[in-house]
Amino acid sequence: MNTRTPILVSACLLGLNTRYDGKTKQCPAVCRYIEQHKLLPVPICPEQLGGMTTPRCASFFSFGDGKTTLIGDGKLQNEQGQEVTAHFINGAQQSLQIAKLTGCTTAILKQRSPSCGVNYVYLGTKKIAGQGVTTALLTQHGINVISEDDIQS
């Protein structure tokens, strides 16, 4: 029986090729942290879960951030100018469902992503203080979300 505590983790931080460009953003500090604390990583990619392809166009907020998007006061678009808000909300809901199914109460998500950003996201090309859509939804449901920056610091 596995006695490790499950933790939700952005799949790209674990070495999976889930990023918009089809690449990974593996973070050795996160992998070390998981091993040292005997955690069981539960990989999620909210953008894939939300129905987006890999590779895909990069996306960003055209206004608002994750928190405001969840109350209908935010939007996301991709580099081609297509609105992709519904994919991000869907991906956040699916991620929350996975957290509930697996009993995760903590998540390590990728900073600055429009889904996974914990303290910062992009509004157009400008980095702003804010949360990604999945981070916002998980936080609202009592899940403690930290980023790879918190692990490295």
Binding-site ranges for ligand SF4 (CB under 6 A): 10-12, 18-19, 45-47, 110, 113, 115-116
Cβ of 106: how many Cβ atoms within 10 Å?
A: 16
CB of 73 to ligand SF4, least distance (A): 21
Q: Which is nearer to ligand SF4, 64 or 107 (CB)?
A: 107
Cis? peptide before 41, omega within 30° of 0: no
Q: Which is nearer to ligand SF4, 96 or 116 (CB)?
A: 116
Q: Which is nearer to ligand SF4, 1 or 97 (CB)?
A: 97
User: Do 30 and 125 meet the contact criterion of CB atoms below 8 Å apart?
Assistant: no
CB of 28 to ligand SF4, least distance (A): 16
CB of 134 to ligand SF4, least distance (A): 7
CB of 3 to ligand SF4, least distance (A): 26
Who contacts 112 (Cβ-Cβ below 8 Å, separation ≥6)?
120, 121, 122, 127
Q: Which is nearer to ligand SF4, 45 or 96 (CB)?
A: 45
Adjacent-strand bridge partners of 107: 8, 145
3-class SS string, 108-151: EECCCCCCCCCCEEEECCEEEECCCHHHHHHHHCCCEEEEHHHH
CB of 15 to ligand SF4, least distance (A): 11
Q: Which is nearer to ligand SF4, 64 or 95 (CB)?
A: 95
